Structure 1
Amino acid sequence: MMTVSIQSVHFDADQKLLNYIESKVQSLSRLLKGHKIHARIVLRLEKVSRIQDKIVEIIVDLPKKTCIAKSINKSFDKALAEALGSLKMQARKHMDKLQNE
C-alpha cells in the first residue's frame, strides 16, 4: 500500500499535473509489493534569469530506510522521470539487501 502527498512550493500546481505525478509515483508500489510506503513529492520553481527551472524532489519511506531523489529540468515531466529513475534504482538495491538478510 502506498500513500502519496504532493506539495507545491510558491505556486499552485494544477490538478492535471498532480494526477500525472501521482500515477507515475504509484508505479513504485509494484516494485515494493507488500510494504506500507509513504511518498512525499515536493515541486518547486526556481527562476534562473528569465527561465524557470522545475525541481522535483521525491522522498520515500521504505522499511529501515528513507530514499531521496531530486531532479532539475525545464519541465516537470522530465524532472519527474529522472527522479523516479534514480529512486527506483535505490529502492531495488535496498529491497534486494532486505531479502538477502
Structure 2
Amino acid sequence: MNITVQSIKFDADQKLVDFIKRKTGKLEQFLDNIIEGFCYLRLENVDDEFNKVVELKFNIPGSQLFAKSQAKSFEEATDLAVESLRRQINKHKTKTRNNGSNHKEILSTEGEDF
C-alpha cells in the first residue's frame, strides 16, 4: 500500500512521517486490498492545546474510508484515526460478507419456485 503524507503550512519531521506510515501500514492486516492512502496533517488555529489534526483517507475497491482526529500531538491523533479506520474496515468487511451470503440465499430460494 502506498501512503502519501502531506503537512499543510508546516514541514513534518521525518520521524513523524515514519510513525504515520508504520501505524497505517498495520491496517493491511485487516484488509489487504487497500489501493492507496492519504494523510493530511494540519495545525488548527485555536487557543486549545488540542490543535493537531490528522485526516486519513483510504481508497479501497468500491469505497473510500475517512477518519479525522484531533489531539494534543500528531502521534496521538494518528492513533485515534487509525483505530477509527480499523473499526470502519471491520464494518465494511462484515457488510460485504453479509451481502454476499444474502445474495446466495436469495438465489437458492428463487430457484425453488420453478
SS at match of 2:44: strand
For residue 44 of structure 1, what is the amino acid of its counterpart? R
Structure 1: 5+ residue runs without aligned partners? none
Separation (CA, whole Å) in 2 of partners of 1:51 and 1:3: 31
Change in CA separation of 1:30 and 1:50 when aligned onto 2, cut-off 3 Å: closer
Q: Structure 2: how far apart are the matches of 1:56 and 1:50?
A: 16
- How far is the alpha carbon of 1:50 from its aligned partner? 7.1
**Alpha-carbon distance in 2 for matches of 1:73, 1:30:** 25
1:7-86 matches, within 5 Å, as: 7-33=6-32, 35-49=33-47, 51=49, 53-86=51-84
Deviation at 1:5, TM superposition (A): 0.5
Identity of counterpart residues, as a percentage? 39
Between the two proteins, the alignment pairs up a number of residues equal to: 99
Partner-residue secondary structure (3-state), 1:26: helix
C-alpha distance in 2 between matches for 1:51 and 1:36: 33
The CA deviation string for residues 15-64 of structure 1, in whole angstroms up to 9 with x for no partner, is 0100011000000111112x142110000011213746100000011111
For 1:22 and 1:64, the matched residues in 2 are separated by 23
Would the aligned equivalents of 2:55 and 2:81 in 1 still touch at CA under 8 Å? yes
Q: Which consecutive residues of structure 2, in runs of 5 or more, have no partner in the other structure?
A: 101-114
* In structure 2, C-alpha distance between the alignment counterparts of 1:16 and 1:99, rounded to whole Å: 38
1:96 — aligned with what?
A: 94
Q: Which has the higher helix share?
A: 2
Structure 2 distance, partners of 1:42, 1:28, is: 17
Higher strand proportion: 1
Q: Are the aligned partners of 1:45 and 1:52 in contact in 2 as well (CA < 8 Å)?
A: no
